[in-house]
Chain A
Amino acid sequence: MAETTATDHRQLRPGLSGVAADWASDQRAFKNVSWGKSMMWIFLLSDTFIFGCFLLSYMTARMSTRVPWPNPSEVFALHIGGQNVPLILIAIMTFVLISSSGTMAMAVNFGYRRDRRKTAILMLLTAALGATFVGMQAFEWTKLITEGVRPWGNPWGAAQFGSSFFMITGFHGTHVTFGVIFLIIIARKVWRGDYDTGARGFFTSRRGNYESVEIMGLYWHFVDLVWVFIFAFFYLW
């Protein structure tokens, strides 16, 4: 397999003529990217469309309603020390997710240096931060539900606020949760040394390598990326 698809990199052209040459060539368009990595990128592109359409439907609902939209700055404020701090929980969640992205980037780096210990620890730290994020989101949901926010209405304004909120943050939280699960799975493989000994995977019966850590990283950074857009459009707008 490898022999038939491997590319001779001496013939790869740079720039736009390279784009045309790569796409017009035999067998594969992504010359120096493995199938695993390109498939993750294509999946992330499709996920971009999913979240894009969610944010789009939120925009449509908010632009077309004649009922005032609840002020997210007040809705998501927490009462701390006798005063309302606007959006404080969301800000903390943002910092937690960015931190987890940082630890993930470091994990990828140490993975390629074949530092098993550091890679696994950093991945588990990433998973812990991700779990913290989901925990805070559960707290936020609980708070809003006790205050009377439902997908069909809320005490402060346009009914679509609840449906947009639960759908967008719910889908994002689900992505984080699955990310945490897969982070733990890959971290365990790294810890055991599966990628050094060439152990075969349970489901695929294929030998993995440290690129799995980078592919996992792509997914995790994407989850962070989606949050950047949700934070800007849903919470700050």
Chain B
Amino acid sequence: MAEATAHGQEMHAGQIAAVPTDTHQEHPIKLYLVVWVWLFILSAASYMVDYFHVQGALRWSLILIFMMLKAGLIVAVFMHMAWERLALVYAILVPPIAVLVFVWIMAVESEYTLWTRLTFFGPSP
């Protein structure tokens, strides 16, 4: 905590820092408002996908695209990830890939479960 103040004192005139010296994340209000509006638009768009009964591959891809865009905006701007050092960015964003691997494993597993159920119990009651 005391570190935040220490940073300011370390810098002397004439020295060029390779990275921002301040841990404070201060950005113009306008940036937040723009992102906010975009989150509204993207949410409305994903609701429209359901409202107009878009079906099939188009539905899944639209849902996923809007979801990833919203998640990206929240993490990058609202949570300030876009301005953090890469050491932190990678430490937080890389491990969730393990979840995706898990998704793949369980998708394979559930297809097998469904196959055994259909084979031994017959189709839907």
Within 8 A of B (CB), among A181-237: 206-209, 211, 214, 217-218, 221-222, 224-225, 228-229, 231-232, 235-237
Chain B, range 53-82, C-beta contacts under 8 Å to A: 53, 60, 63-64, 66-67, 70-71, 74-75, 77-80
Question: How far, in angstroms, from A231 to B49 measured CA to CA in the complex?
Answer: 12
Range class of the B interface residue count: 35 or more
Minimum CB–CB distance for B101 against chain A, Å: 11
Query: Quick check: B46 and A231 within 8 Å, CB to CB?
Result: yes
Selected contact of B21 from candidates A9, A67, A206, CB within 8 Å: A9
Listed from nearest, the 4 A-B pairs whose CB atoms lie closest are: A22-B87, A2-B2, A63-B110, A64-B110
Residues from chain A with Cβ under 8 Å of B39 in the complex:
98, 101-102
Interface residue ranges, B against A (CB under 8 Å):
1-4, 6-7, 10-11, 15, 17-21, 23-27, 29, 32-33, 35-36, 39-40, 43, 46-47, 49-51, 53, 60, 63-64, 66-67, 70-71, 74-75, 77-80, 84-88, 90-92, 95-96, 98-99, 102-103, 106-107, 109-111, 113-114, 117-118, 121, 123-125
In whole angstroms, what is the CA distance A106 to B77 when docked?
Answer: 12
Contact of A63 among B11, B21, B107 (CB under 8 A): B107
Asked whether any CB of chain B lies closer than 8 Å to the CB of A145, the reply is: no
Cβ–Cβ < 8 Å partners of A59 in chain B:
103, 106-107, 110
State how many angstroms separate the Cβ of B20 from the closest Cβ of chain A.
7
Interface check A167, CB cutoff 8 A: no
How far, in whole Å, are A112 and B74 apart by their CA atoms in the complex? 19
Stretch in A87-95, A134-142, A147-155, A169-177 with 4+ CB within 8 Å of B: A87-95
Question: Is A10 on the interface with B (CB-CB < 8 A)?
Answer: yes
A44→B92 contact, CB < 8 A: yes
B74 and A221: CB pair below 8 A? Answer: yes
Residues from chain B with a CB closer than 8 A to the CB of A29 are 87, 91
Interface positions of A (Cβ within 8 A of B): 1-3, 5-6, 8-10, 12-16, 18-19, 22-23, 29-34, 36-38, 41-42, 44-45, 48-49, 52-53, 56, 59-61, 63-68, 73, 86-87, 91, 94-95, 98-99, 101-102, 104-106, 108-109, 112-113, 206-209, 211, 214, 217-218, 221-222, 224-225, 228-229, 231-232, 235-237
Majority DSSP secondary structure for residues of B touching A: helix
Our pick among B23, B70, B118 for the contact of A34 (Cβ within 8 Å) is: B23
Query: Is A16 a contact of B86 with CB atoms below 8 Å?
Result: yes
CA distance A91 to B76 in the complex (A): 23
> In the complex, which of the residues B3, B78, B79 contacts A2, with contact meaning CB atoms closer than 8 Å?
B3
